[in-house]
Every structure is written in structure tokens, then in C-alpha cells.
Amino acid sequence: MSPTSTPTGSTDAAALRAAMGLGGTDNAALRTFLDGLPAVDPVGVEARATQLATRSIKKDTKRALIDLAISMVDLTTLEGADTPGKVRNLCRKAVQPDREVAGTPSTAAVCVYPDMVAVAAEAVAGTGVKVASVATAFPAGRSSLEVKLADTRLAVEAGADEVDMVIDRGAFLAGDYATVFEQVVAVKEACGDARLKVILETGELATYDHVRRASWLALLAGGDFIKTSTGKIAPAATLPVTHVMLQAVRDLFDLTGVQRAVKPAGGIRTTKDAIAYLVAVHEVAGPQWLDPHWFRFGASGVVNDLLLQRRTQTQGHYSGPRYVSVD
């Protein structure tokens, strides 16, 4: 999939904040802005998500969306037991997910811990597959800013193209928006040219209103992506939560012309799941988000189901899990 629109996102977060009328970055100003956002009715957003998920995607559209979904995956391994060998296998899978079926696209990125970035960067060098690294004391985020920044620099210096940080949910829930904001700003600065994904950990934010506020907080602090989850907390990504985040990037775009990206992560396991997300991207945010630059899936298992379905679509019969690789 080639991008259908070029990035229009200004990297000047200060200009963006001015455009949005944010009066400052202290708690009072942030509360005025974030707590003044329109509320989210949970039943309404869940009903809309459920209804949209009944879209029946068939034939050419299904084939196209399977390929698009594969190309949007941040193929992820975030285990204490990760080894260089495991990461290299993952990278080969990312570059060429299905060796036996021609034309299968690569995934968007591999996503690893900072200490595995160098291994991954070497493995995917020259393939177009990006290396993303979690950082900032992932997944809890419970450390000092210094440690978080050091973690970020470690990843970037090892060759990470993208950094997936976690916000300080404790500070957010305590109403200390300024601390969260300052940390995102600082990590963004430490990222240099790397794109920053801000993980809200929506399962710990607990309400859609919080998800909306945290989304805007991350966007105004300069996050390139807003991302649902670490994958370590249940619930991880859900369709209605993703709706709320898509609404945030859409509204930001409508108001300022600045486009930002969204990444649901965790809990997306089947092709049906992935297609339901892409329909939501299409109808809630808009077609310009149907691009790996602007939308990602944080997942691992879903790739094999996408490959199975892709084979079914191209070969005309159902395939089985023994025919796709376990990496």
C-alpha cells in the first residue's frame, strides 16, 4: 500500500497547542482544556462500534484489507524470554510473512524491547520494515523521568525508527496532567527523528472520557501516535476505545490540518477483528487513515490468521494453521 496522503503533521507541538487554544501547559490550563472536551456516552459508542462491526466485507475488498492489515502490523515480541534468535526469526517473518505465497506484503514494523533493537535493526536493514522499541520503563512506566529518557535514548541510538512509550497513568488519574504532558514532551525530544507512539493503557484509564482526554493530552504534547495498550493489561484494545481515539485524531485534523496516527494493540487476534478495525478507521476517521503510516496494529498472532485468510482468498479453499510458520 502506498500512502494516499503525505504527512501533513507539523512537528511543532507548540504551534499546535496555540492553534488549539491551549492556554499553557500547567495543570490548570490542561484541565480547562481536557476536562472541557465533550463527554463520551459509553452505551452510544459501544452500540456504534458493534453496529459498524457488522459490515460484511467480501471478495476484492476483503483481499485488499487483508493485505493492508498485514502491512499495518507492528509484529511484536515483548517477553522476558526474548533472545536474539527469537527476534531474528520475528524479523524474517515481518519482512516476508508468507514465503510460499507471492505478493504477501511485509509488516510495518517489528516491535521489541530496547536491548533487542540492535539485533532487529540489523535483521531488517534495507527491507523497509521499521524497528519499533518500547521504552520508558515499559510496561508500568514506574520510574524516574531520567530512567525513561535513558531507556528512550538506548532504543534510538540502537537504531529504533519508532518508540512506544507509556504514560504515567498514576499521574493522569491523580489529575496531574502536567506531569504526563512534560514526560511526553521530554521523550519526544529524546526520540529525535524517531516517531513517538504514546501508549495510554486504556484498560487502566477505565472510562471513555479518560481515553478521550489522554488522547488529546498525548497529541498536544507531540505524540505521533496514540496507542491503546501495552498488551500486558486487560482489557487491551477494544473497538469502542479505538473509536474514541480515531475521533480524537479526526477532530485534530479537522481543526488544525495536522494528521496523527492511531495504534490499537493487544486483543486483535483474527482477520475478522482486523477488518472490523479497518472499517472503523474508514468510517470514523476517514480513508486517509487507511495507510500504515497512520494506522497500526500492535499484534503478533493476528498475522498468521491474516495469512491463512489470504491463502483462502487466493487459493480458493480453506487453509490450516500447519501451513503457516510459527516464529
Partner 1 sequence: MARLAVAKTYKLYLGGAFPRSESGRTYQVHDTKGSLMANAALASRKDARNAVVAARSGLAKWAGATPYNRGQVLYRVAEMLESRRADVVELIVRSRGVKAAEARAEVDAAVDRIVHYAGWTDKLSAVFGGANAVSGPYFSYSAPEPTGVVAVAASSASPLLPLVGAVLPVLAGGNTAVVVASQADPTVAVTFAEVLATSDVPAGVVNLLTGDQAEIMPWLASHGDVNGLDLTGVPADQRVALERAAADTVKRVYSPRARSGGGEPDVTAAPGTARLRAFLETKTVWHPVGAVSLAGGSAY
Partner 2 sequence: MDLTYAPALESAALAGIKPRYQLFLDGAFVDGGGDDLTSVNPATGETLTTVSTASAADVDRAVAAARRAYDGPWSRMGGAERGKYLFRIARAIAERSRELAVAETLDNGKPIRETRDFDVPTAAQHFFHHAGWADKLGHLGLGPAPRPLGVAGQVIPWNFPLLMAAWKIAPALAAGNTVVLKPAETTPVTALILAEILADADLPPGVVNILPGAGDVGSAIVNHDGVDKVAFTGSTPVGKRIQSELAGTGKKLTLELGGKGANIVFADAAIDQAVEGIVSGIFFNQGQVCCAGSRLLVQESVAEEVVEKLKRRIETLRVGEPLDKNTDVGALNSQMQYDKVTGLVEVGAQEGAGVWTSSCTLPQKGWFVAPTVFTDATASMRVAREEIFGPVLTTLTFRTPEEALAKANNTPYGLSAGVWTEKGSRAMGMAAGLKAGVVWDNTFNKFDPTASFGGYGESGFGREGGTAGMAAYLDTDDEGAF
Which residues contact partner 1 by CB under 8 A?
41-44, 46, 49-50, 53, 202-203, 205-208, 211, 234-235, 238-241, 267, 273, 276
- Retrieve residue 45's grid coordinates: 459508542
- Which residue out of 130, 263, 291, 305 is catalytically annotated? 263
Report which of 300, 291, 232, 256 is spatially closest to residue 87, judged by C-alpha positions.
300
Tell me how many residues contact partner 2 (CB under 8 A). Answer: 29
Using CA atoms, how far apart are residues 285 and 38, in angstroms rounded to an integer?
17
User: Across the chain, how many H-helices and E-strands are there?
Assistant: 14, 8
- Residue 48 binds: one of partner 1, partner 2, none (C-beta under 5 to 8 A by kind): partner 2
Interface region with partner 2, contact rule CB under 8 A, candidates 19-27, 55-63, 195-203, 227-235: 55-63
- Report yes or no: 228 and 245 within 8 Å, Cβ to Cβ: yes
- Residue 59 binds: one of partner 1, partner 2, none (C-beta under 5 to 8 A by kind): partner 2
Of residues 13, 30, 45, 218, which one binds partner 2 by CB under 8 A? 45
User: How many degrees, rounded to 5, is the angle at CA 127 between CA 121 and CA 129?
Assistant: 65
Give catalytic status of residue 263 as yes or no. Answer: yes
CB of 210 to partner 1, least distance (A): 9
- Report yes or no: 294 and 288 within 8 Å, Cβ to Cβ: yes
Using CA atoms, how far apart are residues 300 and 325, in angstroms rounded to an integer?
12
- Which residue out of 161, 168, 227, 251 is catalytically annotated? 227
CB of 117 to partner 2, least distance (A): 30
Q: Does 59 bind partner 2 (CB under 8 A)?
A: yes
CB of 43 to partner 1, least distance (A): 3
Q: Does 48 bind partner 2 (CB under 8 A)?
A: yes
Of residues 12, 26, 41, 100, which one binds partner 2 by CB under 8 A? 41
DSSP 3: -
Nearest residue (CB) to partner 1, 71 versus 238: 238
Q: Does 325 bind partner 2 (CB under 8 A)?
A: no
Residue 4 neighbours by CB distance under 10 Å: 12
Nearest residue (CB) to partner 1, 81 versus 234: 234
- Say which residue the cell 481515553 belongs to: 211
Tell me the CA distances in angstroms from 313 to 66, 69, 307, 317, one per residue in order: 10, 14, 10, 7
- Report yes or no: 187 and 148 within 8 Å, Cβ to Cβ: yes
User: How many degrees, rounded to 5, is the angle at CA 112 between CA 109 and CA 116?
Assistant: 120
Give catalytic status of residue 164 as yes or no. Answer: yes
Q: Does 175 bind partner 2 (CB under 8 A)?
A: no
Of residues 290, 303, 307, 324, which one binds partner 2 by CB under 8 A? 290
User: Across-strand partners of 133?
Assistant: 112, 163
Q: Indicate which residues carry an active-site annotation.
A: 164, 227, 263
The footprint of partner 2 (CB under 8 A) covers 1, 4, 38-41, 43-45, 47-48, 54-62, 64-65, 68, 247, 282-283, 287, 290-291
